Structures are given as structure tokens and as C-alpha cells.
């Protein structure tokens, strides 16, 4: 573990990130805070896709359920933030399980479609019950995590590090190997005596847990929950691009991809409308010419990973 490539790359990077608030201004910190939450979205997506081999087109369904559960509890019943976060995460797990139990019987494009439809339905419901949910405008929250940039930054950094470590550890564990086997050849994995459905369901629930928790944290950072930030298809698309760009089946790569994606979007802001075009073009080039993503090449040359 200590000698693995991932560890050698991750620790110095984390130290640099932890020291950043000493040298950069609040605006950049705010941007990175957002990027770290996206990193958790992308890492949980990678657990499901990279390891379990299931393409979830609707990561923002899980994110949105977590975020809106927390937001509604905080807005109407004034639950304290920690309670909202826990409730949001568990709501996402329950919704994820409700989606996954029937959906995992399906494969390939069908599974993808069901997850996509789930997002569209959630989005429609939120807009339809605008009186309760705030609709397109969003729901403002009485509480925020903190008003201090540095504190927010450290919350996000610690959250990303802990989630990343858990997801990475899980992916490297025997369970992760079983998942990987189920993803690559479900029949053979089942023939070896592993319960494929159970493992995939577990992966889905874990993915849902971290997505929901990150979604709930994100809205308490922003102070408002809106369709555009946590439910929209575009959010899910960004998560998928980040994970594939960073290198699937690496977990850490997904985080790198997410930070790159948010950073690039910001650097290209002077281009105006063309920024999205350029980011998509870069992502396309990476997919076509370096299918392993940013981290794929660095990590995979290191052996077991």
C-alpha cells in the first residue's frame, strides 16, 4: 500500500492542496471547493462503472435525491446540518436501491436508459411541485456550512480525501476484485460462486451513499439547492466526462478529472460560449487517443493496478 503508485502520487498532491489556502485567494479556493465535491461524484460513479461495469447515466439522480432531501428537511423543519447530511445520504441509498434492484436485472443500454429516465422524472417532479421544492429557481437554505472560504475549503478537502480513501480501499479490496470480475464477465464470476447481483447492488448503494452525501454537502456550501446545480442532466454528463477523462477504474483518476474539468472551465471563461466546446473537444481527444485517461497511463504501468 505504502509503496503503491497511487499512494506516492496522492500524498504529495494532498499536502500541496492542504497548504493552498496559505497562498491563493478566496475565489480560487471557492472554485476548488466545488471541484472537490465534483470529485466525490466522479469517484462514486467510477466505482459503479469502472469496477461493477454498469453505466449509470443518471449520477445526478442520486446526487439530487441526497441534496433535495437535505434541503427540504433544513428549509421546512430546520433540522441541523449534520442530521440533514445523514438523512440525505440515506435517502440516496434507499432511492438508489429502489432503482437498482429492478434495474440491475437489465443490462447495457437498458440499465443506462432507466438511470437516465430516473433523472428526467426527478427533474420533472421538482419542477412540477415548484410550490414545495422551489422549482427552477431553487430552494434557499437557512443554514450554510460556513461563511469562511478557508473553512469551506477544508471541509471539502477532508470530505474528498476520506471518501476517496474509502472508495479506493474498497476498490482494492477482495470485494473490489469480485466487482471487477462481475463487470468483465458476469457469467464466469457467478460460476466461480460469487453472488454477482448482490455485489453490484452493494456497489450501487455505496455509490449512492457518497453521491447523496456529496450532493447534500454541496448545497450547504452553496446555500441553495437548485435543479441546475444538482439534478440537471448536464451535471451527470460532467461527472461522467470527469471520470472517463481522468481514467476509469482508478478512482483517484476520477478526482483528477473532476478538478481538471472545473479548472479548465474556469480558465477558458474568457472564451465565453466557446468554453464548453473546447472542454468537450479536449475530452474527446483524450478519449480517442488516450483511452486510459490522465491517470490510466501513470498508474497502470505500475503493475497490479
Partner 1 sequence: MLALQILIDGFAISSLYALGATGFTLIFGVSGVLNLSHGAIMVVAAVIAWWVAGTFGTGAYIGALAGVAAALACAFFTYRVIVRPIQDSGAIPKEEKEIFVLTGTLLWGIMLQEAVAYLFTDNPKTVRPLVEGVVMILGVRTPWNEILTAALSWGAIGLLYLLVNRTRTGKSLLAASMNPRGLTLLGFEMSNIYVLVWAIYGILAGIAGVLLGAFLGVSSGNAGTLTASAFSIVVLGGLGSVSGSLMAAYVVGYLETMTAYLVSPSIRTVPVLLLLVLVVYLRPQGLLGRR
- Shortest spacing between CB 204 and partner 1, in angstroms: 16
48 binds partner 1 (CB under 8 A): no
Q: Which stretch binds partner 1 (CB under 8 A): 25-33, 86-94, 157-165, 275-283?
A: 275-283
Contact set for partner 1, span 115-174 (CB under 8 A): 116-118, 120-121, 124, 127-128
Q: Which stretch binds partner 1 (CB under 8 A): 3-11, 76-84, 157-165, 274-282?
A: 274-282
Smaller CB separation from partner 1, 8 or 280? 280
**DSSP-derived secondary structure for the chain:** -TTSHHHHHHHHHHHHHHHGGGTS-HHHHHHHHHHHHHHHHHHHHHIIIIIT----S-HHHHHHHHHHHHHHHHHHH---HHHHHHHHHHHHHHHHHHHHHHHTTS-HHHHHHHHHHHHHHHHHHHHHTHHHH-TTT-EE-S--S-S-HHHHHHHHHHHHHHHHHHHHHHHHSHHHHHHHHHHH-HHHHHHTT--HHHHHHHHHHHHHHHHHHHHHHHHHHHTEE-HHHHTSHHHHHHHHHHHHHH-TT-SHHHHHHHHHHHHHHHHTGGGTTHHHHHHHHHHHHHHHH-TTHHHHHHHHTTS--
**Out of 240, 256, 261, 299, which residue is the one contacting partner 1 (CB under 8 A)?**
240
237 binds partner 1 (CB under 8 A): yes
277 binds partner 1 (CB under 8 A): yes
288 binds partner 1 (CB under 8 A): yes
- Shortest spacing between CB 247 and partner 1, in angstroms: 12
**Out of 112, 223, 263, 265, which residue is the one contacting partner 1 (CB under 8 A)?**
112
Amino acid at each position: 500500500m505504502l509503496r503503491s503508485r497511487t499512494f506516492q502520487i496522492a500524498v504529495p498532491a494532498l499536502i500541496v492542496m492542504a497548504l493552498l489556502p496559505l497562498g491563493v485567494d478566496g475565489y480560487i479556493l471557492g472554485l476548488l471547493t466545488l471541484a472537490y465535491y465534483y470529485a466525490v461524484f466522479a469517484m462514486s460513479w467510477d466505482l459503479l462503472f469502472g469496477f461493477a461495469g454498469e453505466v449509470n447515466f443518471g449520477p445526478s439522480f442520486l446526487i439530487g435525491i441526497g441534496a433535495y432531501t437535505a434541503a427540504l428537511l433544513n428549509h421546512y423543519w430546520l433540522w441541523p446540518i449534520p442530521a440533514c447530511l445523514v438523512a440525505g445520504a440515506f435517502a440516496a441509498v434507499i432511492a438508489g436501491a429502489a432503482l437498482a434492484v429492478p434495474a440491475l436485472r437489465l443490462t447495457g443500454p437498458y440499465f443506462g436508459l432507466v438511470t437516465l429516465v430516473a433523472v428526467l422524472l426527478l427533474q420533472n417532479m421538482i419542477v412540477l411541485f415548484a410550490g414545495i421544492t422551489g422549482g427552477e429557481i431553487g430552494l434557499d437554505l437557512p443554514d450554510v456550512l460556513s461563511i469562511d472560504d478557508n473553512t469551506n475549503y477544508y471541509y471539502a478537502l477532508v470530505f474528498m480525501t476520506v471518501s476517496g480513501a474509502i472508495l479506493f480501499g474498497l476498490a482494492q479490496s477482495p470485494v473490489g476484485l469480485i466487482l471487477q470480475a462481475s463487470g468483465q464477465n458476469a457469467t464466469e464470476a457467478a460460476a466461480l460462486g460469487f453472488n454477482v447481483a448482490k455485489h453490484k447492488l452493494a456497489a450501487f448503494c455505496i455509490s449512492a451513499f457518497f453521491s447523496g452525501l456529496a450532493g447534500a454537502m454541496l448545497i450547504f456550501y452553496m446555500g441553495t439547492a437548485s435543479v441546475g446545480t444538482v439534478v440537471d442532466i448536464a451535471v451527470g454528463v460532467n461527472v461522467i466526462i470527469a471520470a472517463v477523462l481522468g481514467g476509469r477504474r482508478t478512482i483517484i483518476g476520477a478526482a483528477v478529472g473532476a478538478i481538471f474539468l472545473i479548472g479548465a472551465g474556469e480558465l477558458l471563461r474568457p472564451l465565453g460560449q466557446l468554453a464548453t466546446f473546447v472542454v468537450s473537444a479536449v475530452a474527446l481527444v483524450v478519449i480517442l487517443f488516450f483511452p486510459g485517461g490522465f491517470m490510466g497511463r501513470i498508474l497502470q504501468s505500475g503493475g497490479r493496478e
